[in-house]
Structure 1
Amino acid sequence: MTAAAASGDGARPRPARRPTMKDIARRAGVSESAVSFALNDRPGVSSDTRERVRRVAEELGWQANSAARALSGERSGCAGLVLARPAHTLGVESFFLQLVSGIQEALSARRVALLFQVVEDLDTELAVLRRWWAERRVDGVLVVDPRTEDPRPGLLASLGLPAVVIGGLEADRHHAETPLPVSNVWADDAGAMASVLDHLYSLGHRRIAHVAGMRGLAHTERRIVSLRAEAARRGLTEDEVRSVATDYSDAEGAEATRRILDGPARTRPTAIVYDNDVMAVAGASVAAGRGVSVPAELSVVAWDDSALCRVTHPRLTALVRDTPGFGRLAAQELLAALDGAPVRSVQGELPHLEPRESTGPPPGE
């Protein structure tokens, strides 16, 4: 009776055994020490033996053990990314999918893998970063969602773990005299918000609501501050232009829209700016369900463009940028840091506003 027959038709197949240095030595006809010398590029074997060993290793599909490689001081061939956000907000938001696709494209070109983990909060993220460093699981990390008082750049700098923060740090960090602890790739959120307000103000809107993301994130706070500053520059008060924080989900975007539309008619905003595409689509749906016409009675703007914005009726005015390109830029900066490049701050492209059918003059204009 064969081993396969003895195991039964429903038995789980045995996993293939990973090839070892002993297997390579046996097939190449050399000692295990010669294999070690050849694969680790150390002296002690001839060039012919080194070539033969490497050819056999490739034929067998041999890969170096990551733990052993770490102990020897070699690179892991892996970059890390930890995301501390509610998991339910990730499946519907296209921004991170596009960002990660760009990151992966740049890393793959250098045969660097991406180790990705979602955690519940910032403290857990810090613990993961420390563990990855201690275990030498990653050669460097990409950091997203910078906080207003963010402990991660300082921690990573103290560990000596190369890192790139994706997104702006403190509001004046780019002009500060103190050096950056780690590299930073950022977009001009203040300039983008100014273009949104320019568009709405030129249409005649004077009462504008902002359905923002999570408080404590640097870009959320920067957008709120920028909105207030741009409003004040045009003589608008905080009663006329205000922000509401959410968790970026469609559910909270919809709920924020209901609260805004439930306000007194004389103070109700005539335009709403949403911090992502998902909330903008949810908000437009709430307005339609209440018989509020977009854009005749309410103009809607999405911060990040996506297919959702372009297939919704009416199509949503949105800030457009090359998000995969932003991810590629961040990954390229991390690869440069791994190659010994100095810490630096790099600005990505400024998102540009693409007016579509969801914005128009306010009622009575």
Structure 2
Amino acid sequence: MTRRLPARRPTIKDIARRAGVSESAVSFALNGRPGVSATTRERVRRVAEQLGWRPSTAARALSGEGTATVGLVLARPARTLGVESFFLQLVSGIQEALAERSFGLLFQLVEDVRAECAVHRRWWAERRVDGVLVVDPREDDPRYELLAALGLPAVIVGAPAGPLPPTGAAISTLWADDAAAMAAVVGHLHALGHRRITHIAGLPGLAHTRRRIASLRAEADRRGLRHTASVITDYSDAQGAEATHRVLAAPHPPTALVYDNDVMAVAGLAAAGRRGLSVPGDLSIVAWDDSVLCRATHPPLTALSRDTAAFGRRAARHLLALLDGAPPVCVLADPLRLEPRGSTAGVLQDGS
């Protein structure tokens, strides 16, 4: 069996030979530099197209033309991402917007923010990306100062906790109001008669986790709810199920659970069933970030909904605008909508 060799990429020398011009003339023509006639320029570009030639990313970076690539580093445990739909939809939207400009997306998964900062430094030193998208803002986040010092354009997806990105840095922010969303959930459950509400939260260091916890406490204080709490997890189905079993085994268990993602909510629904509880007869459940998982369960889960792919497209377009020289912006995204479904129902007030 004859081994098939990989196709060789066309080079500037190939274009010059086919077009009947010098290699320097090809370089001038393809880079839009003076020194060749309009006729020669058109002939060179036509031959390049016929041969399927594309500029080398490394060569573009070294010449200062950019890489036509943006980066995204995700500092989360890999085991928590297997079936969570939020990031898949987010990346889908990002890629859709980048494809409109023939930009690529360079993605890397790391263990923590320190490792993420190291990746950003390496990408900057190697001229691998023109800018980056930054997700999961944290308390005392070191990434803003680093990106500002490197001069690497960025969009922060989510509201920063603490100090904003340094003034003058090419860093935009696109965020959703998690506090208002939690207030809407508590209002919905309170109207149904629930007075014991537990929030099965995600990673504790994330800014949006802290905002959701703070909003739950504020709403509980405002409404006189004495039995509300937040329980920290790693976003995984395993920890979501374990937390559900733990809180439902308490002497005065909650009548409603709010989960920080769809995966934990579905795991919680199953855990409640294993304890002999019916949803929504004995327990109401609300999920953050609606997905096909929420709609495919029985009963379907009440969820906070948004167009996550559109959120990703918007983030990518803000980054492309920065690369085009636009000033940085801070933009509030459309609010999350609560979609009541079969997993929430009224309860008798028990005075607690």
TM bracket, shorter-chain basis: over 0.9
For the Cα contact (< 8 Å) 2:140–2:162, is it kept in 1? no
Per the TM alignment, residue 254 of structure 1 is displaced from its structure 2 partner at its CA by 0.5
Give the counterpart letter for 2:249 in structure 1: D
Query: Aligned equivalents of 2:51 and 2:142: distance in 1?
Result: 45
Q: Residues 19-34 of structure 1: matches in 2 within 5 Å?
A: 19-34=10-25
Partner of 2:40: 49
- Bigger mean CA deviation after superposition, 184-193 or 352-361: 352-361
Give the counterpart letter for 2:254 in structure 1: P
Give the counterpart letter for 1:358 in structure 2: S
Per the TM alignment, residue 98 of structure 1 is displaced from its structure 2 partner at its CA by 0.7
Give the counterpart letter for 2:335 in structure 1: L
Partner of 1:253: 240
TM-score under structure 1 length normalisation: 0.93
Partner of 2:283: 298
Q: Which runs of 5+ in 2 are unaligned?
A: none
Is 2:331 the counterpart of 1:342? Answer: no
TM-score under structure 2 length normalisation: 0.96
Per the TM alignment, residue 362 of structure 1 is displaced from its structure 2 partner at its CA by 2.6
CA RMSD across the alignment: 1.5
Is 2:52 the counterpart of 1:61? Answer: yes
Partner of 2:30: 39
For the Cα contact (< 8 Å) 1:296–1:360, is it kept in 2? yes
Is 2:92 the counterpart of 1:138? Answer: no
Query: Aligned equivalents of 2:135 and 2:254: distance in 1?
Result: 32
Query: Aligned equivalents of 2:164 and 2:9: distance in 1?
Result: 49
Is 2:351 the counterpart of 1:362? Answer: no
Segments of 4+ in structure 1 off by > 3 A? 171-174, 178-181
2:255 pairs with one of 267, 270, 281: 270
Over 3 Å counting, the alpha-carbon distance change for 1:129 and 1:173 in structure 2 is closer
For the Cα contact (< 8 Å) 1:297–1:363, is it kept in 2? no
For the Cα contact (< 8 Å) 1:166–1:186, is it kept in 2? yes
Partner of 2:181: 192
Overall identity of the aligned pairs, in %: 68
For the Cα contact (< 8 Å) 1:171–1:218, is it kept in 2? no
Paired residues, number: 349
1:166 pairs with one of 150, 157, 167: 157
Partner of 1:3: none
Q: Residues 1-365 of structure 1: matches in 2 within 5 Å?
A: 8-9=1-2, 11=3, 13-170=4-161, 179=167, 181=169, 182-237=171-226, 240-264=227-251, 267-362=252-347
Per the TM alignment, residue 127 of structure 1 is displaced from its structure 2 partner at its CA by 0.8
Query: Aligned equivalents of 2:163 and 2:120: distance in 1?
Result: 26
Per the TM alignment, residue 172 of structure 1 is displaced from its structure 2 partner at its CA by 8.3
For the Cα contact (< 8 Å) 1:277–1:306, is it kept in 2? yes
For the Cα contact (< 8 Å) 1:189–1:219, is it kept in 2? yes
Per the TM alignment, residue 180 of structure 1 is displaced from its structure 2 partner at its CA by 8.0
For the Cα contact (< 8 Å) 1:171–1:222, is it kept in 2? no
Give the counterpart letter for 2:33 in structure 1: R
Give the counterpart letter for 1:165 in structure 2: I
